[in-house]
Amino acid sequence: MSFAVFLLYVFLSFFRPIELFAPEMAQYRPMLVLWTLGFVLAASRAIVRKEIAARGTDFKLLFAFMVMLGVSLALNGWAGGAFTAMNDFTTSSMLFLLVALNVTTLRRLKLACAAVVLSMLVSALFGIQAYHTGLYADQLVLRQSSPQLEEDPSRAPPEAVPAVPAQDQTGWYLWRVRGQGFLNDPNDFSQVLVMCLPLLFVLWRERAWVRNTLLIVAPGAVMMYAIVLSQSRGALLGVASLLFFIVRDWLGTTRTAILGGLGGVLFLGASAVGGRGFSSQEQSAGERIEAWAVGLELLKWRPIWGAGYGNFTDHHHLTAHNSFVLCFAELGLVGYFLWIGMIVLTFKSLSAAVETLPLRSPHRQMVVLLRNSLVGFLVCAWFLSRTYQPVLYFLLALCVAAWWCASHAPGMTDKESPKYEKIHTIPWVRSTFIIMFLTIVAIRGFVFSHQLGRGG
């Protein structure tokens, strides 16, 4: 019962039919009611069975990070905002806990992944039909003015906005498919689609070509088309990162890196996705990098505690457009350590499981797929300010649950075995500091390159 409620909650969280078909019901908070029911049932089950798919370290990092949101505001002169800041993060933290309470077996892990994939597939289909027919286009397709034409004052916008986005021939607008709820931004929507692409391969069967075509290739094509219609450059780079891992298994890391570098040069040379370029001198991309420069200045100004949760836009007219920048700018190095620590611990845990489990193990398959999802998601996060948003913590929880299931797989529970020690002993602190340093240096490199290109 508790797991069925959880699956329903996951499906409805990503598809959001209430906002689309019955927005008047939102006042009754049906999602909150469903979450409460799911949490009570799952917590009762966990107490009886004494199992939860996460470690104490995972919860300690998550809780410390939530506290740091409030501390960052208190140390910046607004003690009264500390509780509000931590309350804002409750949805993300409690979603992590809900996954940990429910996803305690490999079967449950696969069903949880299937629920979010099915939800996003339905969302993609609705978005595509909205783009081509105009039905629900107001909710599912974002209309933006084309940046090239905005800069040309001699061109006037059309008198009437086309009702069907696909039929727009004016060249004045960018039409971007999106979802509902916390996915109403096209970038968020496409980021979750990138996360879901590897999870389709849970259904893969060797030599079952018809099955694989129907259950993997066709849904994957639908999701890829929705990503294209979202016109999210970060999402396309996320897809490229997934392809890197797939091709690497065939060609090896060195050859794949060379091939990827050549492909990147060609892609940047084309420098357009529906009129949205990748050059740092293109207006939107340039504004993002300028926001990154502000983030670095805030880090220099308040290196330990940051400028305070939610305060980035007090210092710049745009948000950071980078989850890493937003974190160290608002929460300083302390908050950045906790946030990067959660990611590093999770990633290294998955990698340890991959190295320890037998090659054909179904547990290993799930770990590999979720690790790829995490990489694709984080590549997208490099271009989005989603440090605190629920999807990241939902994905981290799924990854931690995959590690937990792997650590309880056959042959992995003998405490005297070297495998047990390897999968449970994860040296994450030193790696966290290294990743912190490398990401800040990378941001500084992007900013320096952009300023050099502008002659400043």
Residue 279, sorted as left (phi over 0), alpha (psi -120 to 50) or beta, turns out to be beta
Q: What is the mean pLDDT of residues 310-328?
A: 92
Q: Which of 129-133, 229-233, 450-454 has the lowest mean pLDDT?
A: 450-454
Per-residue pLDDT tens digits for 146-201? 765 555 556 666 777 888 999 988 778 889 999 998 899 999 999 999 999 999 99
Q: What is the pLDDT of residue 371?
A: 95
Mean pLDDT of the chain: 87
Q: pLDDT category, 275, cuts 50, 70, 90? A: very low
Q: pLDDT category, 102, cuts 50, 70, 90? A: very high
Q: pLDDT category, 242, cuts 50, 70, 90? A: confident
Parse the chain into domains and list their residue ranges. 58-102+280-456
Q: What is the mean pLDDT of residues 213-222?
A: 95
Q: What is the pLDDT of residue 324?
A: 97
**Which CA distances in Å does 225 have to 171, 215, 262?**
20, 16, 24
Per-residue pLDDT tens digits for 412-434? 877 778 888 889 899 999 999 99
Q: What is the pLDDT of residue 316?
A: 87
CA atoms 272, 273, 274, 278: torsion sign? negative
Residue 257 has pLDDT above 70, yes or no: no
User: Percentage of residues in the chain with pLDDT exceeding 90?
Assistant: 63
Q: What is the pLDDT of residue 373?
A: 95
Q: What is the mean pLDDT of residues 240-247?
A: 77
Q: What is the pLDDT of residue 267?
A: 43
Q: What is the mean pLDDT of residues 361-368?
A: 94
Q: What is the pLDDT of residue 279?
A: 45
Q: What is the mean pLDDT of residues 119-124?
A: 97
Residue 323 has pLDDT above 70, yes or no: yes
Residue 259 has pLDDT above 60, yes or no: no
Euclidean distance between CA atoms 329 and 320, whole angstroms: 9
Q: Which of 106-110, 173-177, 433-437 has the lowest mean pLDDT?
A: 173-177
Euclidean distance between CA atoms 99 and 115, whole angstroms: 12
Residue 450 has pLDDT above 80, yes or no: no
Q: What is the pLDDT of residue 412?
A: 83
Per-residue pLDDT tens digits for 58-81? 999 999 999 999 999 999 888 888
The better pLDDT of the pair 22, 349 is held by 349
Q: What is the pLDDT of residue 26?
A: 81
Residue 274 has pLDDT above 80, yes or no: no
